[in-house]
């Protein structure tokens, strides 16, 4: 025997476990049907959870169920057909849910209202220049095309 020993089979290094998502998001604010910024913020909060926690919300059904769980008052009633589909195991498509939500709750006259507000923007004796600038920026931002 020559001093050579049977080499032990090379042990493969196991792949490191994926790091858990350390980002913790606040729960979405309950949505009651308020149009304008509140509805847009709600969709943003739901979407942010869906992309931040893909393992928690891997399916269309889980995303819709999550969104519906934060609806109250009128929107709770509005969401019942989706909830029934979820309970019955019927397919739901998150993007269709969002499209219907936007159609029902987004302010579709926002651009027109912003244009009117910009045209009527005037400085009065009691209005500070900073308030005028802020009002202009707010209205101009709401007139900008959606991304």
Domain boundary assignment for the chain: 37-105, 110-142
Q: Extract the tokens encoding 82.
A: 């989706």
Query: How confident is residue 33, by pLDDT bands cut at 50, 70 and 90?
Result: confident
Which residues, listed in sequence order, are joined to residue 31 by a DSSP beta bridge? 71
- Kind plus residue range of the DSSP H or E element containing 134: helix 129-143
Higher pLDDT: 73 or 140? It is 73
Q: Which of 12-16, 35-39, 140-144 has the highest mean pLDDT?
A: 35-39
Q: What pLDDT is attached to residue 132?
A: 63
Whether the Cβ atoms of residue 64 and residue 98 lie closer than 8 Å to each other: no
pTM beyond 0.85: the answer is: no
Whether the Cβ atoms of residue 75 and residue 146 lie closer than 8 Å to each other: no
Tell me the Ramachandran region of residue 72: left when phi exceeds 0, alpha when psi lies from -120 to 50, beta otherwise.
beta
Tell me how far CA of residue 118 lies from CA of 37, 39, 81, 123, 130, in angstroms: 18, 23, 40, 12, 15
Whether the Cβ atoms of residue 89 and residue 82 lie closer than 8 Å to each other: no
Higher pLDDT: 124 or 63? It is 63
| Pairwise CA distance, residues 11 & 84, whole Å | 51
Q: What pLDDT is attached to residue 38?
A: 86
Q: What pLDDT is attached to residue 90?
A: 96
Q: What pLDDT is attached to residue 82?
A: 96
Tens digits of residue pLDDT in 75-116: 999 999 999 999 999 999 999 999 999 999 887 777 766 676
């Amino acid at each position: 025997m020559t001093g050579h020993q049977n080499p032990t089979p090379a042990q493969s290094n196991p792949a490191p476990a994926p790091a858990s998502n350390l980002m913790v998001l606040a729960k979405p604010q309950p949505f009651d049907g308020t149009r304008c910024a509140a509805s847009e913020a709600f969709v943003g909060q739901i979407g942010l959870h869906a992309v931040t926690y893909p393992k928690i919300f891997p399916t269309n059904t889980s995303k819709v169920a999550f969104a519906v769980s934060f609806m109250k008052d009128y929107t709770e009633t509005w969401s019942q057909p989706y909830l029934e589909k979820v309970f019955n195991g019927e397919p739901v498509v998150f993007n269709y849910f969002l499209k219907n939500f936007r159609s029902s709750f987004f302010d579709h006259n926002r651009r027109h209202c912003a244009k009117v507000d910009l045209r009527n923007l005037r400085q009065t004796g009691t209005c500070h220049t900073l308030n005028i600038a802020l009002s202009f920026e707010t209205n101009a931002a709401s007139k900008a095309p959606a991304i």
